[in-house]
Amino acid sequence: MNDLDDEQLRALIEAVRQAKSAEKRRMALNALLRKLQKLPGILKSSHQDYPEALNLTWEWVCRNIDKFYADDKNVAENLKHWLNGYLYWRIHDLYSPDEKYIKLGSEKIKVGFIPIDPPHSRENDGGSDTMVDRLAKPEDQMGNSFLSLIDRQIQEAQTEERRNLAQKIATYIKQDPDQRLQRCHPKGKPRCNAQFLAMRLCLQDPPATQTSLSEELQIPHQTLVSHWKYACRKLLNKIIQELSDEP
């Protein structure tokens, strides 16, 4: 960092402090974040939850930048120390026995409605093959890219049991046992029914376009959109709920 960087950082911090409205402050924070994210010397950790510690740090910076004090020179250096002072303790939390930090992260993202596979821990797998370890490299030893690794993990995870609801919904749509879907159509347009639209928009890959459906069904696009959004989706959500409640 040189004098120019110090000057830029001082101006960016001052812009946040002087902002007279919430949106001006947010725009000033945008500019500051872009600069800070390139600041050399930010603490790193190989812990799998380090990204959460870093995100918490950016949030803390946004909320507390008004309290930051720097002498006239060395703004970048002072800022780095100030930021790392907070990040150090967030990383420290990651290694604390009571896993306080990890619980904090879990509370921020509530996922209680779906069972999550327990995170791999370095202790369990010898510290050499966690998901992040593997994903962190653009290509693994097998020459696989990040996307193909994801694809492979998804395929392994997509067991029959986990895909049960998706399968039940697809079967229901195809069979429409009570004709509930077929009966859901705009007046005088029986072909534009919820079964037909769900097949084309949700089960077909790639999904049909609105234009092609409008032409095929000879129905104005506004009618099609309104019917899909306000009648079909509502009915389909109800059916999803019913099927998911089944034992």
Partner 1 sequence: MNEIHPPIIVAISLPMHELAKSFAARQLTPAKGRQVYLNTLAIYAVHTYLQWLNIDTDLDQSDSWQANTQVLFNATDLILPGIGRLECCAVLADATSVALTWDVHSDTVGYVAVQVDQQPDQAALLGFLPIDPVITTSSETPLTELRSLDDLILYLDWIESGKLNRVRQWLENTVELGWREPATRSVRSRATTGQLISRMKQVELEGQAIDLQIQVMTTKTQDLNVTVRLSVPQEDADACLPDGLQLLILDDAGATQRQKQANAASRWLEQKKVCKANERFGVAIRLGEATITENFIT
Name which of residues 149 to 178 contact partner 1 (CB under 8 A).
150-151, 153-155, 157-159, 162-163, 165-167, 169-170
The verdict on 103 binding partner 1 (CB under 8 A) reads no
Nearer to partner 1, 62 or 70 (CB): 62
Q: What are the two backbone dihedrals, phi and then psi, of residue 243, each rounded to the nearest 5 degrees?
A: -65, -35
# residues contacting partner 1 (CB under 8 A): 81
User: What is the x/- site pattern for partner 1, positions 15-54, by CB under 8 A?
Assistant: ------xxx--xx-xx--xx--x----------xxxxx-x
Residues 108-137 that bind partner 1 (CB under 8 A): 109-111, 113-117, 119-120, 130-132, 135-136
Confirm or reject binding of residue 11 to partner 1 (CB under 8 A): no
C-alpha–C-alpha distance, residues 213 and 200, integer Å: 9
Does residue 104 contact residue 60 with C-beta atoms inside 8 Å? no
Other CB atoms within 10 Å distance of the CB of residue 136: 12
Handedness of CA 163, 119, 104, 64 (dihedral sign): negative
Q: How many CB atoms are located within 10 Å of the residue 103 CB?
A: 11
Which residues from 184-243 bind partner 1, rule CB under 8 A? Answer: 198, 201-203, 205, 207, 209-212, 214, 221-222, 225-226, 228-230, 233, 236-237, 240-241
Give residue 218's Cα distance to chain centre: 38
